[in-house]
Amino acid sequence: MSEGLRKYGLAALTLGGASAVVFAPALVLPSALFFRDILHYYWQSHEAVVAAIRVGSLPQWNSGPFMGSPLLGDMHAGVIYPLNLLYLVLSYPRAYAWLLWLHHVGGGLGVFALIRILTQRTVAGITAAICFMLSGYVLSLHSAGALMAGAAYVPWVLLALNTDILPWASRSAKVSGGVGPWLCREASLWPVPSLRFS
């Protein structure tokens, strides 16, 4: 086994274990996460998606909450998100917990990979990943599974922006310090409506 593969394996085990400690009761014990929207909104949305898929139709509408709500366009229902197929094989509470764990670890691995590439230090990568995973904000996303999934992709996007792996980046972007600074500079030129709070 190569040295690099061993370091990523160590990181995966460490981060997976740290996340398992947080979510263990819901992953393997007869416990479940039932706080806030998990019980009142997500459960019935995912059950409606599963019911529609099992009868062979496209999940478009949930007749339950709010006198009905769309499913296909609801990011929390995640109709077209491939990992949500786990709801077809596990009970809702167990599938929700495992998806949280997968995204929690996936986000941590993204931070590890980003910091490892930037610093060339394994310990720095693992430390940064654990800080990310155990931060109050990321842990608070346990009650919003789709938002935890979104947070898991952020480090991977940053990694892509900082490693010049985007083939569409112009030569000027690569010359001026990488795709990340170029994208930020270009984004600052886009018209953005100002937000006003009263």
pLDDT at 123: 92
Give me 152's structure tokens: 């898991």
169: pLDDT strictly greater than 50: no
Give the pLDDT confidence of 109-136 residue by residue, as tens digits: 999 999 888 888 999 999 999 999 999 8
Give the pLDDT confidence of 14-73 residue by residue, as tens digits: 998 988 888 888 777 777 666 666 666 677 777 888 888 888 888 888 787 778 878 888
196: pLDDT strictly greater than 50: no
Q: Using CA atoms in the order 53, 56, 60, 66, what is the torsion angle rounded to 10 degrees? A: -60
Cβ-count burial 142-175 (b if 16+ within 10 Å, e if not): bbbbbbbbebbeebbebbebeeeeeeebeeebee
How far is residue 19's CA from residue 22's CA, in Å, rounded to a whole number?
A: 5
Give me 8's structure tokens: 């990523």
Strands (E), 53-190: 61-62, 69-70
Quote the pTM value.
0.76
